[in-house]
């Protein structure tokens, strides 16, 4: 039970840091932020473990991987996300 709570807390911290790194409006809720943070923590830990790096490097990898996931989900890389984000304001009839 304590392990699950720890994953949620770490996931929330990493997800929040990742959302701060991605510019623009993020339409993600807190639950999706926590899930992205948990996934980033797991993947970052696996990558740093494979490289034989320490826990600081694992944390950095986790935040970077979660930031990439946040950017993909919010549409920063693809130009999507957000309503009317890329509209020019002109009406077409």
- 47, two tokens: 């990558």
Give the start-to-end residue ranges of the domains of the chain: 2-74
- 14, two tokens: 């990493």
3 state DSSP class of 44: helix
Assess whether pLDDT exceeds 80 at residue 76: no
The pTM assigned to this predicted structure is 0.69
As a whole number of angstroms, the distance between CA 48 and CA 59 comes to: 9
The closest alpha carbon to 57, from 47, 71, 67, belongs to: 47
Q: What digits encode the pLDDT tens for the residues 42-51?
A: 888 888 889 9
| Sequence-distant (≥ 6) Cβ neighbours of residue 66 within 8 angstroms | 14, 15, 17, 18, 36, 37, 39, 40, 41, 44
Assess whether pLDDT exceeds 80 at residue 18: yes
């Amino acid at each position: 039970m304590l392990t699950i709570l720890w994953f949620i807390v770490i996931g929330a911290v990493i997800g929040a840091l990742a959302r701060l790194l991605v510019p623009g409006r993020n339409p993600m809720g807190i639950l999706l932020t926590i899930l992205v943070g948990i996934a980033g923590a797991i993947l970052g830990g696996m990558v740093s473990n494979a490289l034989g790096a320490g826990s600081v490097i694992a944390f950095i990898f986790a935040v970077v991987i979660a930031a990439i996931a946040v950017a993909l989900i919010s549409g920063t890389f693809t130009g999507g996300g957000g309503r009317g984000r890329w509209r020019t304001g002109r009406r077409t009839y």
